[in-house]
Structure 1
Amino acid sequence: MPRFLLCFFSILLLLGLAAPAGATHIVGGELDLQHQTGSTYRLNLNLYFDAVNGNPGALDTDLSVGIFEKGTDRRMQNLTLPLVSNTAVVYSDIACTLPILGTRRIQYSSLLTLAATTYNNPAGYYAAVERCCRNNSIRNIRNPGNAGQTYYLEFPAVVRNGQPFINSTPRIFPPLSDYACLGELFYYDFGGQDADGDSLVYELATPLNGHSSTNQPKPPQADPQPYSLVQWMPDLSELNQIPGNPALTVNRFSGRLEVRPSSVGLFVFGIKCLEYRKGIKISEVRRDFQLQVIDCPRNIKPEVKVLLPGSNQPYQSTKDVLHLVPGSSRCLRLRFTDPDPTSRLTLSLHPVNFSGPLPSFSLVQGTVRTAGAPDTLFSEMCFPKCLDTKGRVYLLDVIVADNGCSLPKRDTVRLAFTGVPDPNSPPTVATTAGPGLPLHVRIGDLVTFQVTGQDPDADPVTLEMTGRGFTPGSLGASLVPGPAGSPTRGTFSWRVPCPPTDKFLYEFEFTAAAKPCDERQASPPVVVPIQIDYTNTPPTLTASDVAPLIKRYLGEPYTLTLEGLDADNDQLTLTASVNGISLAEAGMRFTARNGAGKATATFEWDPSCTVAQREITEVTFLLQETTCRPVPTSHKLRFEVLRPEVPDFLPANIFTPNKDGVHDFFELPTLPPDFCDSRLANIKIFSRWGNLVYQTTNRTFKWDGGSLPAGVYFVLIEYTDKSYKGTVTIAP
C-alpha cells in the first residue's frame, strides 16, 4: 500500500484512540553513571516526554536523585539534576512519521564525587529518581494515570580489594519512537553500549511504581527501596507485558525487542540491563518505555525469485545447490515484485555462514505498480570471479524489502552455492641488468637499469625490491615506477656508496606481485648481484728522526720533518697531537702541507717547563687518507726535558772583611741553578738574636759584612720549591 494512504489511515485510527484519553506526559527513561576523572562522575537521567499529548507545563527544570547504600538503604546523598538538553526523537524511517505520535528526549545531568573513603561498601549502591505520572491511555497496567515511575540504577563501590575500581554503567540506549502494527511482527534494537567493554545481559522487568503519586508527582527527594511495582491487567505479567503471538521478548545478549501484537493501544514495558565484568555482576539499569500499537492498513509482503542460470525456472532452496566453476556464468537473474500499489522495493544480501566479497546487483531499488512503472522488476546478481568457497557450501540470503510502515516487509531466498575461482597465472619479472653478472662497479658509480613486470591474466602488477641481508633504501638504492600501463616498468638507480661494513657484494632481489581475488601472487624473484670493486694500499709515513726518545735542555730547540706517500694517490692529511695537553702548551708547532698522494710536515719543539713537569710527553703523528676504507698510519715520538747539572753546593762559612784582598766578601758562587718551578727567591742573613741584617735576590751578590761586629750569623736561602739554612762567620 502507498505510504501516504497508510499514514493517513493510521492518523485517523490514532486520533480515534487518543481522543477519549487525557494523557499526561512521561513516556519512559533510564539513569546512567559515567566516570570522568579521578573520583568525579557524571550522573545522567534520560527522560522521554510525550511531545504530542503531554502537557509542556509538566516539564521539570530539574529533578532530585537519591543515592543509597545497598543492603542498609542508608541515604548517602541527594543530588539535584538540572535540565541540560531537550531534543526530538526521530523515527527509524522518516517516511512513516505520524503527526500525532512524537517523543522528545529530555536529559538531566550533574557531576558528583564518589570518594574512595565513602563509597567503598562491597554491596554497592543505587540511585533513584521518582516522578509521577504515566499516560492515562496505557492499556496493560491498572490505573495508569495514577501510576508513578522510578528510574533505578545500581553501581559498584569505587574500591575493590584495596584497589581503585572504575566503572561506567551502560548507556546510549536508542529511544523508541516507532509504532507497531496489529498482527505484524515488530522488532527494534533496544540494546545499549558500555564504555568499559563489559558484558551486557537484557531481561524483561516489571516497571517500578515507587512512592510518587498524583498528590505529590514530584517528591522533594527519592525514598529508598523497596519500590512498589505497577499492577498488570488480567492475563498479563512480567513475561507477557504486551499481548501477542509472540508476546514481547528481548534478546538476552543483543537487546533486540520482538513482538507480534494482538491488541491495539498504548502499552508500557520494562527492561533490565545487567552489567557483568569477569562473570561478576557489577551494575543494573532499569528502563521503562511504551509502545503504540495501531491497526495498520494491510500490507502484503513483496516476493523475490532467483532464476537458475540459463533458465526461467526459479531456484528452490530445498534442493538446489549452485556450482560456480571456471568457464560458467557467475550471474543470476532476479525477479521481484509487490502486489501493493506504489511500492518501492530494495534488494539486499545477508551472508549466513561466511564473510567476504558479496555479489553485486545491476538494480538495487525500484518502484512497482504506479503510473509508468512495471509490475515486476529484474536485476542481475553477479558473483566475483575470484570467489572461492574452498569446497564448502556457502549460504546467502537474497532479501527484498518494501517501504511499508511501520516496518518494511521482506521476502527471502536462501541460496546454497559453491565457488571455484578462475585459474590465474603468476606474474613474471625481468631486468636489463644482465647478462654479465655480477655487475662490477666502483665507489661513486651510478648504476641504473630497467625492471619489467607483467601478468598473463592482465592483472595489475606491482614491482618490489628487497636486499638479501640488507635494506636497499638504507644504501640509497631506489626503484622508481614508471607510467601506469602493461607491462609495468620501473627504474633501478643506485649511486654506489662506501659500504658501511666490509661487505662488498650486494644482491638485489626483484619481484612482480599481483593480487587477483585479493590474494597475493608473486613471480619467482630475479636476483641482480652487484660487486663493488675496491682495493686500497695503505699509505706510508717516514720521519727524519727515528729515535724513540728525544731529550733536550730548556732553550735547546728540536726540528723534525715527516713525509707521507700513497700509491693510490688518495688525498692525504697529516696531523699531530700530544697526550693530555695541546701542542702550544708543550711548546710545539706543527706545519703540514697536505695533498693527493703526498703530504709533508715540519715539527718544531722549544722545550718548555710544561713538558719538564711531565715525566714523558708522547706526540702522535697521524697520516690519514681520504678513501672508502681508510687505513691510518701513525708515528710516535716521546719527549723529555733534561734538567741542568747541579754542582755540589758547599758554600764558604767564614770571611774576613778587612780589605786585604783575601776573603773580603761572603758570596755563593755554587748556588743551584734556576729551573722551571725551582727558582731562587731570596737570600737572608740574620743576627744571632734573629734580626735581619742583610737581604738580596741577586744570586751573584757579594756581602762585605756591613761593618757588623765579628761573630756567627745565620743564613736562609729560599727557592720557590725549597730552602737551605746555614751559618756564616765574620772573622776579625
Structure 2
Amino acid sequence: MPTTTLTTFIRGGLLLWLLCLLAPAARATHIVGGELDLQHVNGATYQLSLNLYFDAVNGQPGALDPELTASIFEKGTNRRMLDVPLPLTNNTLVSYTNPACTTPSLVTRRLVYTRPITLAGQTFASPNGYYVAVERCCRNNGISNIVDPGGAAQTFYLEFPPVVRNGQDFRNSTPRIFPPLSDYACRGELFYYNFGGQDTDGDSLVYDLVTPLNGYSNTVIPKPDRAQPAPYSTVRWVDSLSVTRQIPGNPTLSIGRLTGRLEVRPTRLGLFVFGVRCTEYRKGVRLGETRRDFQLKVISCPTNARPKVVMQVPNRRQPYQVGRDTLRLQPGGNRCFTLKFTDADLTSALTLSLSPVNFTAPLPTLSILQGTVRTPGAPDTLVSRLCFPDCFNTKGKVYLLDVIVADNGCSLPKRDTVRVAVTSVPEPNAAPLLRSTAVLPLRARPGDLITFDLVATDPDNDPITLEMTGRGFTPAGVGAQLTQTASNGQLTGRFTWRVDCRAVDKPLYEFEFTAAAAPCADRQATTLVIPVQIEYVNRPPQLTSPFPGPAAGSPTPPAPLVIRRPIGGVYEASLAGLDLDVDALTLTAVGTGFDLAAAGMTFVPRNGNGQASGVFRWEASCEAVRLNGLEVTFTLQESTCWPQPQTRIVRFEVEQPPVPDFLPPNVITPYQRDEKNDFFELDNVKNNLPPDFCESRFADLEIFNRWGSRVYRTTNRSFRWDGGGLPAGVYYYLIEFTDKKRYKGTVTIAN
C-alpha cells in the first residue's frame, strides 16, 4: 500500500474512532429549556446564573454536566470579554400546579449553575452593552414542532447594559421570569400560565414570543469549551409553524405583552418547544433582555365541564347580576349572602375562593370552602354563606370582589367567576375593657408566688387579644407567664409569677397588660399597669469552727491551718452555721484531689433552715503521707439568690517519727565465746536503725566478702548474724528500704 494511501487510511480510521467515542454525547438529548440570570450583589460584584431545565424521564444521566461555561461579549463588536465557568450548585424537581395531575411521562429537573463575577466599570463601560451566552446540545428528542429536535442545540442568552453611564455607576439586575411548572396541556382545552417576571430595580417589563436559538453546538461537539459570538442560528419550525404560531392551536400560543400570561388552546398532541423574551425598560430606555426556552406537552384528557357558581340576593328571586347589581351594606343590616356552586361532571371536587380586585383586606368569610358533588351520598349542589365583617369599610368607594369556583380537572382546573360589587359602612366600634383581680400594692420575696386574673371584654364583640409586656424588662426573662382562655365573649388571662433570683436585680417591676382589638384594621387598645415591688435583703451566714476565718476587712483568706497527728492519731472538730435570714444552710467538707473516706476522714453534717452543724473526724494514716498532706475545704453554703458562702481550708499532715543518727556496730567476736559482741544486729535502740514508716520500710540486708560474693541476706529487720563460721576479716553490708534509701558500711569478724 502506498504511503499516502496508508496515511489517509489511518487518519480516516482515527476520525471514525473519535466519532464513535463522541457518539454517546451526540445522543445526549435532554434539554427542556432554560434561561440566564444576572443579579447585582454589591459594588462591582454580580451573581451570574444559568437555569437549565432537564428532561428527567428521557434525559441521559451522562448529559448532566457538573459545569458549564458562560461567555460574555460586547454587543456590536462581538469582542470576547470574559469566559466564566459555572459549577452546578442545585438540582431540584420542577413542581406541578396540581400535584394530583402528575404524570410519570413528564418529569423536569431544574439545574442551577452559578458563580459570582466582577464587572468592573473601567472594563464594562461600552454604550453598546453586552450579552452572555451558553451553548449546549441537545434538545429533547421528542419535540414535535421543530426539525431534527435530537440534533438541535440551545443557546442560553441575555443582554445587559454597561455598568457605567455618564461617568456614574449604573446598577441593573435582569428580570426574573416566574418559575416554570411541569404542567401539561389538554388538547382542545385552554391552557394558561403566568410567565410574568419580577424586577428588583422596578424596571418596566415587556414580553413577546421569539424563535428559540440554536447556536453552534451540535451532536459532534455538544458541549463547547466556550460559546461562540453572535449571531446565533435559530431552530427550524416544522410544517406551517412559525414564531407567531409556535404551537398548533385555536387560538395558537400567545403571551400578554405586559402581563407575561401564556395562553393556548392546542389542537394537536405532542411535545412543543417555545421561546419567550422579556425585555426591560427604564424611563423608556431599553436596557436588555433575557430569554427562556421551555416545553409544553399536549395530551388527550377526559372531557371536563366548567363548574358554576351563583349568588343569591336576599328578598329577591333572581340571582345576583354581574354589572347590574351592587351590594350595599349598612350598620345593623344583613351582611351574609348565599352562594350555590355545582358541576355537571361526576365526582367533581370543587373549591371556592375569593379574590379582591381593587382592595385588600379584610376579606369576607365563606362557611364552606370546598366539597364534592355528584357522587353517591353527596348533593348535586353545594351551598356556602358569604359573610362580610361588621368592620368592612369601602370608604365611599365600590369594591369589586371575585367569587371563584374551581374544579379539580387536569391539567388545569376550570373556573367560574361572579364579580361582586359592594359598598359598606362599618358598624360603630368601642375600645375593649380590661380589669384585674390584683390587690395593690403587690410585694414579693424570692420564692413567693404571685397570681391574679385579667379579664378583657369588647362591647362590640370584636376579636380581642391580651398582651403582656414589661417596662424595661421582658416578662419571660424573669419567669412571668400569662395564660389565656376565652369563653362567653370574654378573654381571661391568668398571670403567674414564681419570683426567683432573676428578680432581685430590680426593686420594682411594672407589668403592662393590653387588651387590643383591630376592627377594620384600626387598632383599639386599653392598657393596665400593675407594679410588683421586690423585697430582698441577704445577710451572710456565720460559721463557727476551730479554724480561723479571714480577718475583718481582709480581701483574701488566711493561709490554711495545718493540723498534724502521728500515725494512728485522731483529730476531731465540730462546726456550726447560723443564718439570720433563716435560709437553708448546707455544711460540706471536700478533699482536694482525694476522697475523705479513703484518707480515714469522716464528716457528718446536720443541715437545716437557718442552722447547720457538722462533726469532722480524722484518723491519721499513711494516705496523708502518700499525698504529701491532705487539704480539706469546709464550706457553709446558703440557699439564696446572692449566696455568700463561708469557707475554711485546713491542711492535715502526719507527724513523721524522729530519725536519729545511724550508728551500727562494726566489729563482732563470735569466736571468743564470751557472749559479748557475738552477733551483728541493728534493730535495737543502741544502733538506731531508721524506723519503718509508711512507704519507707526495711527491705533487706546483704553482706559481701572482699571479693564481692554475697555471704548473707535477710529480709528480717530483727536479724542476728553470727558470722556464719566465716574466717576473720572485713565484710561489707548494704541495707535497703522500700523507698530506695540505702545504708552501707563494714563489719569485721575478729578472732
* TM-score, structure 2 as length reference: 0.54
Tell me what 1:171 maps to: 176
Tell me what 2:409 maps to: 404
Instruction: Measure how far apart 1:168 and its partner are.
Output: 2.6
Match of 1:365 among 362, 370, 379: 370
Tell me what 1:227 maps to: 232
Match of 1:182 among 187, 198, 208: 187
Tell me what 2:91 maps to: 86
Letter in 2 for 1:174: P
Decide whether aligned partners of structure 1 residues 521 and 116 sit closer, same or farther in structure 2, where only a CA change above 3 A counts.
Answer: closer
Letter in 1 for 2:378: A
* Structure-2 separation of matches of 1:484 and 1:25: 59
Letter in 2 for 1:373: A
Matched, 1:146 2:151: yes
Secondary structure of 1:126's aligned partner: strand
Tell me what 2:390 maps to: 385
* Structure-1 separation of matches of 2:145 and 2:490: 74
Tell me what 2:605 maps to: none
* Structure-2 separation of matches of 1:75 and 1:518: 57
Tell me what 1:593 maps to: none
How many residue pairs get aligned? The number is 454
Instruction: Measure how far apart 1:488 and its partner are.
Output: 12
Decide whether aligned partners of structure 1 residues 484 and 184 sit closer, same or farther in structure 2, where only a CA change above 3 A counts.
Answer: closer
* Structure-2 separation of matches of 1:415 and 1:65: 51
* Structure-2 separation of matches of 1:400 and 1:518: 28
Q: Indicate if the aligned counterparts of 1:174 and 1:191 stay in contact, CA closer than 8 A.
A: no
Secondary structure of 2:296's aligned partner: strand
Matched, 1:116 2:121: yes
Tell me what 2:216 maps to: 211
Decide whether aligned partners of structure 1 residues 328 and 34 sit closer, same or farther in structure 2, where only a CA change above 3 A counts.
Answer: closer
Tell me what 2:620 maps to: none
Tell me what 1:238 maps to: 243
Instruction: Measure how far apart 1:290 and its partner are.
Output: 0.9
* Structure-2 separation of matches of 1:361 and 1:81: 50
Secondary structure of 1:227's aligned partner: coil
Tell me what 1:162 maps to: 167
Decide whether aligned partners of structure 1 residues 415 and 35 sit closer, same or farther in structure 2, where only a CA change above 3 A counts.
Answer: closer
**The structure with more radius of gyration:** 1
Letter in 1 for 2:103: L
Decide whether aligned partners of structure 1 residues 63 and 282 sit closer, same or farther in structure 2, where only a CA change above 3 A counts.
Answer: same
Instruction: Measure how far apart 1:273 and its partner are.
Output: 1.4
Q: Indicate if the aligned counterparts of 1:23 and 1:53 stay in contact, CA closer than 8 A.
A: no
Q: Indicate if the aligned counterparts of 1:91 and 1:178 stay in contact, CA closer than 8 A.
A: yes
Tell me what 1:314 maps to: 319
* Structure-2 separation of matches of 1:337 and 1:148: 48
Tell me what 1:418 maps to: 423
Decide whether aligned partners of structure 1 residues 319 and 31 sit closer, same or farther in structure 2, where only a CA change above 3 A counts.
Answer: closer
Letter in 2 for 1:212: S
Decide whether aligned partners of structure 1 residues 377 and 461 sit closer, same or farther in structure 2, where only a CA change above 3 A counts.
Answer: closer
Letter in 2 for 1:250: I
Decide whether aligned partners of structure 1 residues 224 and 514 sit closer, same or farther in structure 2, where only a CA change above 3 A counts.
Answer: closer
Tell me what 1:95 maps to: 100
Match of 1:48 among 47, 53, 57: 53
Instruction: Measure how far apart 1:461 and its partner are.
Output: 9.8
Matched, 1:354 2:356: no
Q: Indicate if the aligned counterparts of 2:362 and 2:520 stay in contact, CA closer than 8 A.
A: no
Tell me what 2:112 maps to: 107
* Structure-2 separation of matches of 1:96 and 1:360: 29
Q: Indicate if the aligned counterparts of 1:179 and 1:293 stay in contact, CA closer than 8 A.
A: yes
Letter in 2 for 1:305: V
* Structure-2 separation of matches of 1:293 and 1:460: 50
| Structure 2 counterparts to residues 202-601 of structure 1, below 5 A | 202-310=207-315, 313-423=318-428, 457=460, 516-519=519-522
Q: Indicate if the aligned counterparts of 1:207 and 1:288 stay in contact, CA closer than 8 A.
A: yes
Secondary structure of 1:109's aligned partner: strand
Decide whether aligned partners of structure 1 residues 81 and 355 sit closer, same or farther in structure 2, where only a CA change above 3 A counts.
Answer: closer
* Structure-1 separation of matches of 2:262 and 2:236: 22
* Structure-2 separation of matches of 1:213 and 1:183: 35
Secondary structure of 1:131's aligned partner: strand
Tell me what 2:671 maps to: none
Q: Indicate if the aligned counterparts of 2:28 and 2:138 stay in contact, CA closer than 8 A.
A: no
Letter in 2 for 1:140: N
Q: Indicate if the aligned counterparts of 1:23 and 1:136 stay in contact, CA closer than 8 A.
A: no
Match of 1:61 among 59, 62, 66: 66
Which range moved further: 212-221 or 47-56? 212-221
Instruction: Measure how far apart 1:208 and its partner are.
Output: 0.8
Instruction: Measure how far apart 1:192 and its partner are.
Output: 2.9
Instruction: Measure how far apart 1:487 and its partner are.
Output: 11
Alignment RMSD (CA, Å): 4.0
Q: Indicate if the aligned counterparts of 1:23 and 1:137 stay in contact, CA closer than 8 A.
A: no
Decide whether aligned partners of structure 1 residues 342 and 76 sit closer, same or farther in structure 2, where only a CA change above 3 A counts.
Answer: same
Instruction: Measure how far apart 1:458 and its partner are.
Output: 6.1
Secondary structure of 2:182's aligned partner: coil
Tell me what 2:440 maps to: none
Instruction: Measure how far apart 1:269 and its partner are.
Output: 0.7
Decide whether aligned partners of structure 1 residues 155 and 391 sit closer, same or farther in structure 2, where only a CA change above 3 A counts.
Answer: closer
* Structure-2 separation of matches of 1:298 and 1:119: 56
Residue deviations 1:187-221 (CA, integer Å, cap 9, x gap): 11223333333333222111111112223222232
Secondary structure of 2:124's aligned partner: coil
* Structure-2 separation of matches of 1:488 and 1:270: 58
* Structure-2 separation of matches of 1:462 and 1:219: 64
* Structure-2 separation of matches of 1:424 and 1:336: 35
Instruction: Measure how far apart 1:428 and its partner are.
Output: 11
Residue segments in structure 2 that go unaligned for 5+ positions in a row: 1-26, 435-454, 473-483, 493-514, 527-751
Letter in 2 for 1:421: P
Secondary structure of 2:173's aligned partner: coil
Decide whether aligned partners of structure 1 residues 351 and 113 sit closer, same or farther in structure 2, where only a CA change above 3 A counts.
Answer: closer
Match of 1:135 among 140, 150, 155: 140
Instruction: Measure how far apart 1:169 and its partner are.
Output: 2.1
Instruction: Measure how far apart 1:120 and its partner are.
Output: 1.9
Decide whether aligned partners of structure 1 residues 163 and 380 sit closer, same or farther in structure 2, where only a CA change above 3 A counts.
Answer: same
Residue deviations 1:398-429 (CA, integer Å, cap 9, x gap): 11111111111111122233333345578999
Tell me what 2:611 maps to: none
* Structure-1 separation of matches of 2:139 and 2:457: 74
Decide whether aligned partners of structure 1 residues 277 and 344 sit closer, same or farther in structure 2, where only a CA change above 3 A counts.
Answer: same
Secondary structure of 2:319's aligned partner: coil
Instruction: Measure how far apart 1:46 and its partner are.
Output: 1.1
Secondary structure of 1:267's aligned partner: strand
* Structure-2 separation of matches of 1:410 and 1:249: 20
Decide whether aligned partners of structure 1 residues 368 and 259 sit closer, same or farther in structure 2, where only a CA change above 3 A counts.
Answer: same
Secondary structure of 1:272's aligned partner: strand
Decide whether aligned partners of structure 1 residues 221 and 425 sit closer, same or farther in structure 2, where only a CA change above 3 A counts.
Answer: closer
Residue deviations 1:109-136 (CA, integer Å, cap 9, x gap): 2333323332221211111111222223
Which range moved further: 90-99 or 27-36? 27-36
* Structure-1 separation of matches of 2:346 and 2:157: 48
Residue deviations 1:212-238 (CA, integer Å, cap 9, x gap): 222322223211111112222343222
Matched, 1:199 2:204: yes
Residue deviations 1:335-370 (CA, integer Å, cap 9, x gap): 111222222111111223333322111111112223
* TM-score, structure 1 as length reference: 0.55
Letter in 2 for 1:380: R
Tell me what 1:31 maps to: 36
* Structure-2 separation of matches of 1:278 and 1:362: 47
